[in-house]
Amino acid sequence: MWSKGSIKIPDPEDKEKNTICQYWVKHYDEPSEIWGINGGRISKLMIKVNGKVTASYDRGWDVEPEDEPTQLAYWILLKDYN
């Protein structure tokens, strides 16, 4: 099943600023030791910030999450879908 949406990550230094992370996740009912992230249910994942791909997983990492907003969004998606 595909899920998509956006996650608003607040800026820790400026409470008026937020980073919007758009995401697309392909997840299954059962985990996969071979294809899932950390052996879980997510087999594909993309996160974009300001139109730029900041994380991409397609049965393996193409772009790993490096900036703080993307990392936070990634952990939220792992909690929700993996």
Nearest CA to 25 out of 6, 5, 45, 8 is that of 45
Domain count across the chain: 1
Please state the pTM of the whole predicted model.
0.92
| Owner of token pair 């919007």 | 20
pLDDT value of position 82: 93
Which residue range(s) make up the domain with 8? Answer: 2-81
pLDDT tens digits, residue range 66-77? Answer: 999 999 999 999
The Cα-based distances of 73 to 34, 37, 43 in angstroms read 23, 15, 16
pLDDT in tens, 1-44: 999 999 999 988 888 899 999 999 999 999 999 889 999 999 99
- Computed on alpha carbons and rounded to an integer, the radius of gyration of the chain in Å comes to 13
In tens, the pLDDT along 40-59 reads 999 999 999 999 999 999 98
